[in-house]
Amino acid sequence: MMDMMDDTTIWDSTKYNIPVHSGTVGVGGGGGNGGLNPKNHERGGSFSCNSTEENNAVTWAQQQLYLAKLTLRNSNAFTLPKPAHELLRRKAASKLRSALLRGVRQANRNDPKRAKNKPPPLAYERWAARDVLRRTTTELLLPSSGVVDPALARDLSRHTMRGADAQALATSLADEAKTAADALKTNTENEEERKQERIYCTKCGAEMLAVALGAPEAKPYFTVSDAHYKKLKILYDDNEGSDDEQAFLRALFCLLCRYDALGGAGYQCALPNKCFDAMRKAVCANGECFASPLNCRTHAYCSAFPDTDGAFGSAGSFRNFYPEFGSFEANPIFVPETMSMMATHCESLLEAAEQGKPGKYDDGNTSKAEDKKQRHCGKPRSLSFCVVVPVWKECKFYGALMRSAFRRGEPIVLSAEHHVYVDGAQHARPSSERERPSSYDTAIFFLQTKRASDRWPCGEEQRVAIRQAFAGDILAKAKSGAGASSTVGEPQLQWSRVYKKKKVKR
């Protein structure tokens, strides 16, 4: 759903020389370092990707994510909701959370031992994340598949309530969520809502802004830091190219409202940016498989909500993303079912790349499907995933990653006390409160095709550099309260390049 790369810095601003709504895109790109022909690449003594190889990885990741975005442009996936309607969705999510709490209390009201019990932390968020994987409806936030979630019943019965009561509550919530989602479909704006369409953005502290609908003092309002506001404006301008301030503010309001309704900031933590940079330098991991406009580190990322995130450059959900080549970072939310989906999807993508199977995207070089099959068939490609997950060895996803034929070496294992994450609500927090110690040991897997492992090897030097980046001095800062102030600044657009039509050897 969301990978949570920190923070407000964007180091890669690859731009395309075609309109956003164009149906084709060229392959390849250029620069002042020998172009993108891998034949020009010589790694030398340093473990870091050299400029030519890094250009390859950056351009390939950007191109694949851009093609995924173009594929969705013809659907309604990127249709921005109305701000007033998004508030109704948030209200519906809040009612479901209340129904969960109320159901637990009512079931336990006659049991003295359980009378004060509450739902397990993040029980609602885990339910919602699992439901995403089973529903086919256009509703993206509410767990509205109508399917009773057995894992929610287990969650509730484990410590909170009796098994029969937990099953009954899970059934009731499934029905209530589906009813709420159906009600949202039939809702239409009235005249009063249209009058309140104007969005106001005002200062509400030394480094924070308040974004409200209808009036500056209207509630609920949503907060965003100055630095994140500037970053989001850059993403919006790059993607939409509009000078309409209200259009940007409407997109910003809907984005903040959606992620506020999503909740679960505790399990949506991001990697500190120096850790992402270490992965980029070691194995050229550039594209982000699980991110959001609020925490993406690059302009090339997948995210959970194409309707609210699309205006800021999202390529849609990772489970609907089919890259043929490139080097990517994947840090999914820590929900076992989501991580299992990620592991399965990565495996199928790597198999297709290793076997040279035809891809799903038209790269713009030809409109003939048969020519495309001819070009790709049987030619192995370079595809790599740097995967960050908790060390939950009893879960299916962990076993799947360990058994993968594409795993290169043992995973890097970081003890919980030796690394930190960035809070999932970093955009709404002062810079001094963004980092938090990890709750679990973390494992970093390298999954690569053979060509990718030759091109971006993950040897001992790379592993040491990544481990040091995760430890470094960031844990001391978090414990001392210094936070991430030294890593959060105004957005910077480094390595800016133009995406040009040119064939690239893969």
Over residues 219-229, the pLDDT tens digits come to 999 999 998 99
Condensed to tens digits (0 to 9), the pLDDT of residues 466-479 reads 888 887 655 555 45
- Residue 110's pLDDT band (boundaries 50, 70, 90)? confident
Question: Does pLDDT of 484 surpass 90?
Answer: no
Sign of the CA dihedral with 447 first, then 451, 453, and 456 last: negative
Inter-residue contact 442 to 389 (CB < 8 Å): yes
**pLDDT of amino acid 431:** 66
Rounded Cα–Cα distance for residues 250 and 236 (Å): 11
Condensed to tens digits (0 to 9), the pLDDT of residues 328-372 reads 999 999 999 999 999 999 999 999 999 999 888 765 554 445 555
* Predicted structure pTM score: 0.82
**pLDDT of amino acid 20:** 28
Nearest to 431 by CA among 475, 478, 472: 478
Residue 192 tokens, joined: 């009063």
Condensed to tens digits (0 to 9), the pLDDT of residues 25-42 reads 222 222 222 222 222 222
**pLDDT of amino acid 501:** 34
Question: Does pLDDT of 401 surpass 80?
Answer: yes
Condensed to tens digits (0 to 9), the pLDDT of residues 47-96 reads 446 566 666 666 788 888 888 888 777 666 778 999 999 999 999 999 99
326-361 CB burial, b ≥16 within 10 A, e <16: bbbbbbbbbbbbbbbbbbebbbebbebbbebbebeb
**Residue with more model confidence, 320 or 41:** 320
3-state DSSP assignment of residue 394: coil
> Phi and psi at residue 234, in whole multiples of 5°?
-65, -45
Mean pLDDT within 211-233: 93
Query: In residues, how long is the chain?
Result: 506
**pLDDT of amino acid 503:** 39
For the ranges 123-132, 246-255, 479-488, the lowest mean pLDDT is seen at: 479-488
Contacts of 123 (CB under 8 A, 6+ apart): 100, 152, 155, 156
Contacts of 197 (CB under 8 A, 6+ apart): 82, 83, 84, 213, 250
**pLDDT of amino acid 434:** 67
Average pLDDT of the chain is 78
Per DSSP, which regions of 276-319 are E strands? 287-291, 301-303
Q: Where does 305-459 have alpha helices with state H? A: 306-309, 336-355, 369-376, 396-403, 450-455
Q: Looking at the DSSP assignment, which residues form a beta bridge with residue 271?
A: 5
Per-residue CA distances from 246 to 79, 127, 252, 492 (Å): 16, 35, 9, 24
Question: Does pLDDT of 7 surpass 50?
Answer: no
**pLDDT of amino acid 468:** 85
Condensed to tens digits (0 to 9), the pLDDT of residues 414-454 reads 888 877 777 666 776 666 666 667 778 999 999 999 999 99
Nearest to 201 by CA among 260, 143, 245, 142: 245
**Residue with more model confidence, 502 or 408:** 408
Condensed to tens digits (0 to 9), the pLDDT of residues 83-109 reads 999 999 999 999 999 999 999 999 999
For the ranges 109-118, 236-245, 396-405, 494-503, the lowest mean pLDDT is seen at: 494-503
